[in-house]
Amino acid sequence: MEEENSEDASYKIPVHVSLNELVNKDKEDESLNLYKKKLLGENYDCPPVRPNDQRICIPVSLKIIVPFDNAKYKEGKDYRSIRDIEHKVHYELTLDQPDTTEIVNDKVVEMKEGTFYCTELSFYVQREIVHGLQCKTHFYRKGIKVPGESVSSVMGSYGPKPDLQVFTSKTTMIPNGWLCHGKYKVINKIIDDDNNNILTIKWYIDVKK
């Protein structure tokens, strides 16, 4: 909460290129080769991680990361991420359900007002490049979308790899004050640049004093 709109308003949708097209494209172009290495790594021709799962992007978990010492983090002016200091996993949602596009987690996650946090999404990519991933987050209270609290996080494009890939959001803060206390419904929608729904996650937080 308390982080508004897109993380990168100037983000441009990439041109779709298949895995084979990218691998064989302009092999003498040094800058393109560096991009290919960053995107694809050394194992771009790896077999599918989940051969029986037809999805290209397979979300595995969503973690809420918080500092061990919230007050110390608040004082720090140079920290770009909670991961730059001692931190812990406050809660983890398991997303690893075969061939699903929606997960509902009914457990209410308690969050103390003023707590800094970031989210960490882990996922596999297999078979092809997934282009222009974004995670759109909306907060609802008593069935009404909370104005000014929607976040659109640009994740980028990812090539197939045998290992888990991770995206960490920007750090934000749970609002302070008794008016902010109470239960919220959170909806995360992970989409690609064609607006295909990779996964919709519905869960709940309860802001406490």
Whole-angstrom Cα distance, residue 119 to residue 44? 27
Highest mean pLDDT among 25-29, 89-93, 158-162, 192-196: 89-93
- pLDDT over 70 at 135, yes or no: yes
Q: Please check whether residue 192 is in contact with residue 167, taking contact to mean a CB–CB distance below 8 angstroms.
A: no
DSSP reduced 3-state for 120: strand
Instruction: Please name which of 175, 205, 204, 200 lies closest in space to residue 190, comparing C-alpha atoms.
Output: 200
Q: Rounded to the nearest 5 degrees, what angle is found at the Cα of 55, between the Cα atoms of 50 and 61?
A: 75
Q: Please check whether residue 98 is in contact with residue 194, taking contact to mean a CB–CB distance below 8 angstroms.
A: no
Please give the pLDDT value at position 5.
34
Q: What's the whole-number mean pLDDT along residues 100-129?
A: 93
4 vs 61 pLDDT, higher one: 61
Write out the residue range of the structural domain in which residue 108 sits. 5-208
Question: Residue 206: pLDDT band by 50, 70, 90 thresholds?
Answer: very high
| CATH number (domain holding residue 168) | 2.70.50.30
Q: Please check whether residue 207 is in contact with residue 113, taking contact to mean a CB–CB distance below 8 angstroms.
A: yes
Least confident range of 10-24, 106-120, 163-177: 10-24
2 vs 16 pLDDT, higher one: 16
In DSSP terms, 63 is beta-bridged to 92, 120
- pLDDT over 70 at 9, yes or no: no
Q: What's the whole-number mean pLDDT along residues 45-70?
A: 90
- For the chain, the domain total comes to 1
- pLDDT over 70 at 27, yes or no: no
- Residue pLDDT, tens place only, 100-114: 899 999 999 999 999
